[in-house]
Amino acid sequence: MISVSNLAMSFGDRTLFAAAAFQLNAGERYGLVGANGSGKTTLLNILAGELEPTEGQVSVPKSARLGVLRQDQFLYEDRRILDVALMGNRELWAAMSEKAALLARAADGDFDAHRFSELEDVVQRHHGYAAEARAASILEGLGLPAKVHDDPLSTLSGGFKLRVLLAQVLAASPDVLLLDEPTNHLDILSIRWLEKFLQDFAGPVVVISHDHRFLDNVATKILDVDYETVTLYDGNYSEFVVAKREERERREKEIATREKEIAHHQDFVDRFRAKASKARQAQSKLRLIEKRAGELTELPGSSRRYPKFRFTQVRPSGREVLSATGIRKSFGDNEVLHGVDLSVRRGERLAIIGPNGIGKSTLLKILVGELEPDGGDVEWGYEARPGYFAQDQHEQLDASSETAESWLWGFCPGKDRGFVRGQMGLMLFTDDDGDKPLAALSGGEAARLVFSRLMLERPNVLVLDEPTNHLDLESIEALVEGLKQYDGTLILVSHDRWFVGRLATRILEIEPDGVTDYPGTYDEYVHSAGDDHLDADAVVRRSREKEKQRKAGKEDNARRREERAGRDTERRRQELEKRSAELMQAVADAEARVAEIDARFAESGFFERTPPEEVAELDRARRAAQDEVGARTGEWEVVEGRLRALE
pLDDT along the chain (647 residues), means of 10: 93 90 95 89 93 94 88 74 90 87 76 84 84 89 89 85 90 92 82 90 94 92 93 94 88 78 76 68 75 68 86 94 93 88 95 86 94 94 95 74 88 91 92 86 89 95 92 92 96 91 92 84 78 45 41 53 65 80 86 86 82 84 83 78 70
Q: Provide the residue count of the chain.
A: 647
Return the closest-CA partner of residue 606 out of 595, 618, 594. 618
Q: What is the pLDDT of residue 463?
A: 97
Q: What is the pLDDT of residue 538?
A: 37
Distances (CA, A) of 444 to 151, 450, 459, 471: 33, 10, 22, 5
**Residue 40 contacts residue 225 (beta carbons within 8 Å):** yes
Return the closest-CA partner of residue 302 out of 385, 227, 196. 227
**Residue 26 contacts residue 202 (beta carbons within 8 Å):** yes
Burial class (CB in 10 A: 0-12, 13-18, 19+), 70: middle
Q: Return d(Cα 338, Cα 333) in angstroms, integer.
A: 13
Q: What is the pLDDT of residue 502?
A: 93
Q: What is the pLDDT of residue 580?
A: 82
How many beta carbons lie within 10 A of that of residue 561, not counting itself?
A: 12
Helices (H), 126-236: 128-141, 158-171, 188-200, 212-218
How many beta carbons lie within 10 A of that of residue 320, not counting itself?
A: 15
Per DSSP, 80 falls in state B
Return the closest-CA partner of residue 331 out of 294, 351, 361. 361
Q: Return d(Cα 111, Cα 605) in angstroms, integer.
A: 15
Q: What is the pLDDT of residue 72?
A: 58
Q: Which 3-state string (H, E, C) describes 376-408?
A: EEEEECCCCCEEEECCCHHHHCCCCCCEHHHHH
Residue 517 bridge partners (DSSP): 508
Q: Please calculate the CA angle 335-338-342 and round it to the nearest 5 degrees.
A: 135
Q: What's the order of all strands across the beta sheet hosting 334-345?
A: 334-345, 320-331, 375-380
Q: What is the set of domains in the chain, with CATH numbers?
A: 2-241 (3.40.50.300), 320-529 (3.40.50.300), 573-646 (1.10.287.380)
Phi, psi of 65 (to 5 degrees): -100, 125
Residue 465 CA, chain-centre distance (Å), reads 16
Q: Return d(Cα 84, Cα 149) in angstroms, integer.
A: 10
Residue 516 bridge partners (DSSP): 509
